[in-house]
Structure 1
Amino acid sequence: MKMLRTICALLILTAGTAAAQERHFTLQAPAALIENGFLRHLLPRFSLKTGIRITPGADPGNAAFGDEGIPVFRQGERVWHLSRTDGPYTEAFQDWLLSDIGKRTIESFATDGTNLFSTDVAVREVAVVAEITGDVAMGEEMSLKHCGRCHVVNETNRMNAIGSTPSFGLMRTFPDWEGRFLAFYALNPHPAFTQVAEVTEPFPENLPSPIAPLEVTLDEIDAIAAYVATIAPADLGAPVRSQ
Structure 2
Amino acid sequence: MSAPKALVDTGFFKHLLPRFSLKTGIRITLNEDAGAVAFGADGRPAFRQGDQIWHFQGSDAAPALRFEDWLFSDVGKGTIEGFKPGGTQLFSTDIVVAAVEDVFEITGDTVLGEKVSLGKCGRCHVVNEQNKMKAIGSTPSFALMRSFDDWEARFTAFYVLKPHAAFTQIEDVTAPFAENLPSPISPIELTLAEVEAIVAYVASIEPADLGAPIQIQ
TM-score normalized by structure 2?
0.71
Higher RCO (Cα < 8 Å, 6 or more apart): 2
Letter in 2 for 1:83: G
Distance 1:192 1:112, change over 3 A: same
Q: Say yes or no: does 1:131 pair with 2:105.
A: yes
Instruction: Give aligned pairs, total.
Output: 214
Quote the residue 1:9 is aligned against: none
Deviation string 1:82-118 (CA, Å, 9 cap, x unpaired) is 4157355x56544442333321221244689875533
Letter in 2 for 1:181: F
**Pair member with larger Rg:** 1
Shift of residue 151 of structure 1? 1.8
Deviation string 1:103-146 (CA, Å, 9 cap, x unpaired) is 12212446898755333468765443443322223212222232
Distance 1:149 1:80, change over 3 A: same
Distance 1:152 1:109, change over 3 A: farther
Letter in 1 for 2:214: V
Q: Is the 8 A contact 1:73 1:120 kept in 2?
A: yes
Q: Is the 8 A contact 2:45 2:53 kept in 1?
A: no
Distance 1:114 1:151, change over 3 A: farther
Pairwise CA RMSD: 3.9
Q: Say yes or no: does 1:83 pair with 2:54.
A: no
List runs of 5+ in structure 2 lacking aligned partners. none
Q: Say yes or no: does 1:164 pair with 2:138.
A: yes
**Superposed, which structure 2 residues align to 1:9-158 within 5 Å?**
27-46=1-20, 54-66=28-40, 67-68=42-43, 72-75=46-49, 76=51, 78=53, 80-84=55-59, 86=61, 93-109=67-83, 115-120=89-94, 125-158=99-132
Distance 1:38 1:131, change over 3 A: farther
Q: Say yes or no: does 1:184 pair with 2:119.
A: no
SS at match of 2:30: strand
Q: Say yes or no: does 1:201 pair with 2:183.
A: no
SS at match of 1:170: helix
Distance 1:138 1:108, change over 3 A: farther
Counterpart CA distance in 2 for 1:94 and 1:200 is 49
List runs of 5+ in structure 1 lacking aligned partners. 1-26
Counterpart CA distance in 1 for 2:185 and 2:68 is 68
Distance 1:194 1:48, change over 3 A: closer
Deviation string 1:28-69 (CA, Å, 9 cap, x unpaired) is 11123113343344335445666765432322334322434x
SS at match of 2:200: helix
Counterpart CA distance in 2 for 1:81 and 1:56 is 14
Distance 1:154 1:98, change over 3 A: same
Shift of residue 220 of structure 1? 0.6
Whichever structure has more strand as a proportion of its residues is 1
Letter in 2 for 1:201: P
